[in-house]
Amino acid sequence: MWRLIMLCVIQIATCVDQGCRNPSKPLSGMSAPGDLRIGGVLPIHVDKIYPEINFKEEPRPAQCIQFRFENYQGIQAIRFAVEEINRNPSILPNITLGFEIYDSCTVLQRAIAGAMQVLSGHGQPLPNFKCRQEEPLAAIIGHSMSTYSMLLAHILGLYRYPQLLHYMKNVRLQMNSGREVFFDINGDPPAGYDIINWQYDQDGRIRQVKVGSYDTGVDHGNIFTVNTNSLQWGTGDREVPLSACSQSCPPGFRKASIPGKPICCFQCILCPPGEISNQTDSLDCFKCPWDTWPNLQRNICTSKSREFLSYEDPLGATLAATGISSSLFPVAIYILFIHYKDTPIVRANNYSLSCLLLISLSMCFLCSLIFIGKPEPLKCFLRQVTFGIVFALCVSCILAKTIMVVLAFKATMPGSSLKKWTKPLVSYCIVICCVIIQTFLCILWVLLSAPFPENNINTKIGTIVIECNEGSPVAFWVMLGYLGLLATISFIVAFFARRLPDSFNEAKFITFSMLAFLSVWVSYIPATLSARGMYTVAMEVFAILSSSWALVICMFVPKCFIILFRPHMNSKEHLMGKERSVSTNVKHL
């Protein structure tokens, strides 16, 4: 009975002992003895191969592959740092620093085994058990991959090993070379990189040449430096190669992609009118402000030129001089008529209306001056109104003279009752009525939509035309159309009165004057529609001067010629010599 009990106890103890043992496999690594140890688990190999499991034997461990030389350099850096510390008695006096580093092979099982091996010492890696009585573990360097580092942190946290990252943020060391090593708030050291240029040597082999550096730990100077003289480009030259596809677009142009070609290939398109680009290889053009315009190169915006019919301009000065000098001719004729007011030719052509017509003609010449000069609110307000009323006075005087000529000859017929309509008051009433209608139209125009000055940027490219906006184009053409109506009525009446006696008869002169007047203003319509800028105003001034001269020449030059050079025709006998033809001509009216 006792033998049976002892056999069971031995068997159970054997099973318990075998079950509590942690199977271990040899780990590759590097170590050095010391009074204090630094442990580490790093991936020297970065990949593994798992052998096939046939369930007939114990599974073999994963085979490590892809030796990573950079990681091996990290282990050597730890060894070098430990040796440097041990050689310097001022750092850890009377203490030798050792290390124990294992390859995790990027396998979780190996990482855990390495950590347990560092904690428990050589032999069986048992948790909560340390084989070594000496060489205490000072710190463990974690894995480079976050998954493995988190696993090691959980294991090491049970044994109260501190995380050095929190302390590393406050470390600032100076190396033997004088360079300082420190860490930012994230625990990262200053970045430092060498810029390497692959160059061919004389044998055609590739060698790595340092041509610059990037170092954020530099206290003074440039963080980024490149020695361009040491660079060798793919062409084998020291000069920067130019793109064989497209050249850079200078200012004034923009880049546009070429369909079907790579993105580095583009064409340079000139900026459209009104837009500029002030940078090389600009992707877009930008509009200039409203009062500026691009220069010829279209890389800067320059102020637009201002244009208006000025007195300093040769055209404006010529028109102004013509208007002033022309206004003196009606005044001279007026003085001549006053001097010869008692002669038959002056008395026979309605002396009072002739004087009023001469005064209005002088005002017609002078009103052209309002159109010259920089447009201002008052000038824009007055110029068309003055022109319309003064010309209405002029044309209405001619209309009254024409009507009075017809009435005078009609009144001489036997039994005619028109004699009461030949009084001077009738002619004055005709003039006043015609002028009042034009004045009413102008007042209505001003009240509804008065003219005003404006800066026109649409008429001429690159130029601001300062002009008077008529406010209502319809009102302007109605005013001008009314003048045309008066002139047309005068022309028709004078045309039918052309067969009256030739002596001192103004009908044929009025016919020619109205024909010339209408021709000028009919020609003005297409001319002003095709003109641009200040030439639009110049066309109207020219029409005013031309139509006024047409009236002066056709109406008064023949009379002045008779008064000055044919005085024998300015007599009552000459007038009476033509009386026989009066009755014949009147019958045809």
Q: What is the CATH number of the domain that holds 66?
A: 3.40.50.2300
Q: Are 351 and 337 in contact (CB under 8 A)?
A: yes
Cβ neighbors of 187 (< 8 A, separation 6 or more) are 165, 168, 169
pLDDT at 125: 63
| C-alpha distances in Å from residue 182, one per residue of 140, 190, 217, 470 | 20, 7, 9, 79
Using DSSP, state whether 580 is helix, strand or coil: helix
The pLDDT value given to residue 14: 37
- Alpha-carbon span 582 to 83, nearest angstrom: 146
Let me know whether 85 and 223 are in one domain: no
Residue 11 lies in a domain: no
CA 299 to chain centre: 11
Residue 440 pLDDT: 94
Residues making up the chain, counted from first to last:
589
User: Strand pairing partners for 180?
Assistant: 174
Q: Parallel, antiparallel, or unpaired for β 292-294 and 172-174?
A: unpaired
Q: Is 237 part of a structural domain of the chain? A: no
Question: Any idea which residue has 């026979």 for tokens?
Answer: 348
Alpha helices in 368-419 (DSSP H): 377-411
- Tell which of 120, 147, 163 closes a domain: 163
Residue 180 in any domain: the answer is: no
Choose the final residue of a domain: 142, 163, 184. 163
In a domain? residue 578: yes
Same structural domain, 524 and 419: yes
217 and 360, same domain (yes or no): no
pLDDT score of 410: 66
371 lies in the same domain as 418 = yes
Q: Mark whether 204 and 127 lie in a shared domain.
A: no
> Are 571 and 442 found together in one domain?
yes
The one-letter code for the residue type at 379 is: K
Which structural domain range is residue 54 located in? 26-163
d(CA 111, CA 105): 8
pLDDT for 117-149, tens place per residue?
788 775 566 666 666 555 688 888 877 787 788
pLDDT attached to residue 188: 78
Q: Find the Cα–Cα–Cα–Cα dihedral 202, 208, 211, 213, rounded to 10°.
A: -170
Residue 362: predicted pLDDT? 94
Do 402 and 493 contact (CB within 8 A), yes or no? yes
- Cα–Cα nearest to 288, from 277, 459, 270: 277
The two three-digit tokens of residue 384, written as one number: 């068309």
Tell whether 153 and 269 lie within a shared domain: no
Is residue 361 located within the same domain as residue 276?
Answer: no
Low-confidence ranges of the chain (pLDDT < 50): 1-22, 502-504, 579-589
Measure CA 444 to chain center.
Answer: 43
Query: Is residue 176 assigned to a domain?
Result: no
Q: Is residue 450 part of a domain?
A: yes
Residue 185 domain-assigned (yes or no)? no
Could you tell me how far CA 67 lies from the centroid of its own chain? 60
Asked if 433 and 529 sit in the same domain, the reply is: yes
Number of domains the chain contains: 4
Q: Which residues lie closer than 8 Å to 483 by C-beta, 6 or more apart?
A: 388, 391, 392, 395, 438, 521
Residue 268 φ/ψ, nearest 5 degrees: -95, 120
* Domain assignment present for 443: yes
Copy the structure tokens of residue 84. 């440097």
pLDDT single digits (tens) 257-302:
888 887 778 889 999 988 999 998 898 999 999 888 899 899 999 9
CA dist 509 and 98 (Å) reads 132
Question: Based on the domain organization, do 483 and 440 belong to the same domain?
Answer: yes
Verify that 499 and 583 share a domain, yes or no: yes
Out of 303, 334, 367, pick the residue that ends a domain: 303
**Judgement on whether residues 483 and 515 belong to the same structural domain of the protein:** yes
Cα separation, 467 vs 383, whole angstroms: 12
